[in-house]
Amino acid sequence: MTTTSSGLDLTPAPGAAPLSRMVAAQAAAEVRGMLRNGEQLLLTLIIPVLLLVGFSLAPVLDLPTARRIDFLAPGVLALAVMSTAFTGQAIATGFERRYGVLKRLGATPLSRGGLMLAKTAAVIAVEAIQVVVIAGVALGLGWRPQGSPFAAALLLLLGTAAFSGLGLLMAGTLRAEATLAGANLVYLVLLGCGGVVFPLTAFPEGVRGVLELLPISALTGGLRAVLASGAALPAGTLAVLAAWAVLPLGLAARTFRWE
Amino acid sequence: MPGHDPPRRFPTLVRMESPAVEIAELVKRYGRATAVDGLTLTARRGAVTAILGPNGAGKTSTIEICEGFRRADGGTVRVLGLDPARRELRARVGVMLQSGGVPPAMPAREWLRLVSRFSARPLDPDALLGLLGLAEHRRTPYRRLSGGQQQRLSLAAAVIGRPELVFLDEPTAGLDPQARHACWDLVRDLRAAGVSVVLTTHYMDEAERLADQVVIIDHGRAVANGSPASLTGAERQLRFRARPGLDLDELLAALPAGSAAKESPAGHYIIEGQVGPELLATVTAWCAAEGVTADDLSIERRTLEDVFLELTGRELR
């Protein structure tokens, strides 16, 4: 113990905390950051819930299922995953890079792998909140989900991996402003033509074949197959999502610039 | 110099007598520009080392290589005896960036608490916030803190993990006098506790007051290196102001052999040599004979600023 004017014991006692504690602390900070951010909440909770309530009550869409809510709930769950894992994560990480936060964290004992683990945990935690809120609202609107909840959870996780890869690929290569604009644009486009609330059957045959290869279409289609029809995990959907998970994550790992 | 190290309180330090930082022939280029050009310096353990230099001299490049953010293009760098890229250094070394590094929306205390959670035996975040005058702002988001408050928060984050060595990149740039003194007190306390400190600055008084060792760098090379006292020298100078363009050769002829006289800048005269009553009398008599009034006449030691300007020139960059 050294007596100093500050009264603090500044004697060196270096050492890294256990990885689990570092990751938990970082993940908690990331979750608080997401919940604090108004624009993010708009994207992750308010818009999905409004779409769910609005389109299930107002008969403006010609939906293929007898009960509108059984069609809408899986689509909105997929949208929730995209908003958090892709749009929110891309924008937040892009600005963390811009503000030197990633650089500063690189000077702490938290490794880059640990940081990525924390980001993933935070995304999954926020998605869990989204699923609870959206499923709660949907159940209140008369949603009757079929199928295996584990199959649905697996699809959500695979979708998370795919969208995280795309988000981090953008955040790690583009300028923060470009990521902000691009991630919002992609969100809108995929919301419109990924089978979230507008069924893909509304598109012409040729276009539909291409749209079905999008990660959002695979996720909405897969979730609907499981939750609306009680089907087993569709192999085609799994393959599309897995491809979208592996390619961007691999590319992001190679191209990500931390500064 | 082991004899100058503080008492060892820390068993692991005993077997590691490598310097805090050892840089030899360091080269760093950005494209065709050479930022660091064969820099060599050693920062002792337990000492405060100030890297002093004009803007663009290569200070930040050098410190960021030591912090592991950038790679050297040539030469060797050892931090606590290790390659700066080694991950184990992250827990042993505290870092204060020149700016930024904190999420803008994150409250001050939350950031400090987060950084503390990465260390095994951290300081208490609240005590540190109090010490640096940030207690009232603990819930203020980073972006709403003043520049000086942001600097102090970054300083707090650099030391909270109780590191052996801290790198501070311009720690007091833009601080008001109270905040500067709080920062200096903390640096002195760190030194007293046996922490090695390497800081960059372009404030001469900061280097003069805080540093055991000053390295002046310019154009990416060390141009002077030593304690503040050894750099400024024991010799005293006689200074005065008068109209520009006095004939100094005539004055020199009247002075004892070995004296030197110069005008720098215009109208400011500096006489070096055996500064005593005799020299003082000679100068004032000569001024009287010339019909010149010597203003602000004083006898003082050279300051670090004099040394710095002599070495790095007066042109703006």
pLDDT at B197: 98
Q: Is 60 exceeded by the pLDDT of residue B83?
A: yes
Q: What is the tally of structural domains in chain A?
A: 1
Residues of B in contact with A91 (CB under 8 A): none
B190 inside 8 A of chain A by CB: yes
Q: Note whether A106 contacts B106, CB cutoff 8 Å.
A: no
Residue for token pair 């260390």: B119
* pTM given for the model: 0.85
In sequence order, the 6+-apart residues with CB closer than 8 A to the CB of B110 are A29, A32
Q: Note whether B189 contacts A12, CB cutoff 8 Å.
A: no
At B137-151, the pLDDT tens digits run 999 999 999 999 999
Weakest-pLDDT range from A68-72, A236-240, B294-298: B294-298
Query: What residue of A is the nearest CA neighbor of B154?
Result: A104
Give the confidence band of B234 by pLDDT, cuts at 50, 70, 90: low
Q: Note whether B101 contacts A15, CB cutoff 8 Å.
A: no
Distance CA B147, CA B105 (A): 15
Tokens of A119: 């980001």
**Looking at CA atoms only, how far is residue A168 from chain B in angstroms?**
18
β-partners of residue B37 are B27
Structural domain that includes position A150: 19-255
Q: What is the mean pLDDT of residues A37-55?
A: 94
Residue A8 maps to a domain: no
Residue A7 maps to a domain: no
Residue A43 maps to a domain: yes
In sequence order, the 6+-apart residues with CB closer than 8 A to the CB of A19 are A111, A114
Tell me, what amino acid is at B35?
A
CB A221 within 8 A of CB A152: no
Residue A59 maps to a domain: yes
Residue for token pair 């291409």: A210
Query: What residue of B is the nearest CA neighbor of A29?
Result: B114
pLDDT at B316: 66
CB A65 within 8 A of CB B157: no
Distance CA B128, CA B126 (A): 5
Distance CA A119, CA A135 (A): 24
Instruction: Tell me if the bond preceding B265 is cis, omega within 30° of 0.
Output: yes
CB A172 within 8 A of CB A255: yes
Residue, of B132 and B13, whose pLDDT is higher? B132
pLDDT at B1: 44
Catalogue all structural domains in chain B, each as residue range(s) with its CATH number: 2-231 (3.40.50.300), 234-301 (3.30.70)
SS3 B105: coil
Helices A235-255 & A149-173 angle (0-180, nearest 10): 30
At A127-181, the pLDDT tens digits run 999 999 999 999 999 999 999 999 999 999 999 999 999 999 999 999 999 999 9
Residues of B in contact with A25 (CB under 8 A): 114, 117-118
Residue among B99, B102, B162 minimizing CB distance to A10? B162
In sequence order, the 6+-apart residues with CB closer than 8 A to the CB of A131 are A77, A80, A156
Residue A11 maps to a domain: no
Residue A71 maps to a domain: yes
Query: What residue of A is the nearest CA neighbor of B85?
Result: A107
B92 inside 8 A of chain A by CB: yes
Selected for mutation to probe chain A from B14, B48, B189 (highest A CB count within 10 Å) is B189
pLDDT at A168: 94
Give the confidence band of B264 by pLDDT, cuts at 50, 70, 90: confident
| Greatest alpha-carbon span in chain B | 73
Distance CA B158, CA A108 (A): 9
